[in-house]
Amino acid sequence: MKMKKPGRLLTAMVTPMKENGSVDYDQARILANKLIDSGSDGVVVVGTTGESPTLVRAEELKLFAEVKDAIGGRASVIAGTGSNSTAEAVETTIQAEETGVDACLLVVPYYNKPSQEGLYQHFKAIAEATSLPCILYNVPSRTVANLSAETTIRLSHIDNIIGTKEASGNFQEIAKIISSTKNDFKVWSGNDEDTLPLLSIGAYGVVSVVSHLAGKQIKDMIESFLACDIKRAAEIHYSLMPLFKTMFITANPCPLKYALNYLGFHVGKPRLPLVEPDEASAAIIREVLGNSVIDIPLP
């Protein structure tokens, strides 16, 4: 089984689009490298931020291959291969493994509201079909179904399920996962604003959106915390709060795509049914960007 370490700071990468709405693979290659340059240990490709609901399989697989080829061994590439269909998730994960990615991210099945036993069997089936390290992804605000701490703990006993991205915001449940899984089972924060609080109870890192704009600062926050410089980590956390809030002023990744385009790194518009922020929201984004230190190496 491939066990390249995914890293503590993973960026949930946007999917750049051309003017005609097609995927801009060349820009995706450039963006992936710039994210690594600005502190990311790896990138998640075709996650929520990458507009997974509106990409088709051929686009997803080409993105996995292009990004992996672009960054090589510099950092890890985690492929978003989850689905609310177990058979589809299994097939996509097998095909993703063939592209050379380092791990897969498996979202809780959405819409069909499976039971906890159904969730266990779903993730077990995917893990058994691949040699890739598998990272669970619990985001009940989008999926409706919540992956319970007990089910996560049960899944952690499967060898190649190596961790979870927790975006539930339920610190009590997340603490139960951290305290009751094996030492090498990793928990990544799925919300930027939760990163430092979760590190304080034993989380490993974050799958970040705001690291597109402040990767070096988020990396510094994590490293400061690990070095027991809690004061500095807290200062960075507080300084980034406006960005954390504003990048979710409307549905992700609409604010982030607007911000990157505004700053001069062209990633195109989101695909329908997502649209660009309205002018009131855009004005807030511009104001916050103007008051923030942006450290991604832009063109």
Residues assigned a catalytic role: 137, 165
Report how far residue 214's alpha carbon sits from residue 108's, in angstroms, rounded to the nearest whole number: 28
Evaluate whether 62 touches 95 at the Cβ level (below 8 Å). no
Determine the length of the chain: 299
Nearest by Cα to 54 from 214, 257, 245, 263: 257
Nearest by Cα to 66 from 26, 35, 39, 17: 26
- Residue 171, H or E segment: helix 171-180
Structure tokens at 132: 């890739």
Evaluate whether 9 touches 39 at the Cβ level (below 8 Å). yes
DSSP-derived letter for residue 17 is: B
9: helix, strand or coil: strand
Positive or negative torsion for Cα 250, 291, 16, 279: positive
Residue 52: C-alpha distances to residues 8, 20, 45, 61 (Å): 22, 18, 9, 12
Beta-bridged to residue 12, according to DSSP, are 44
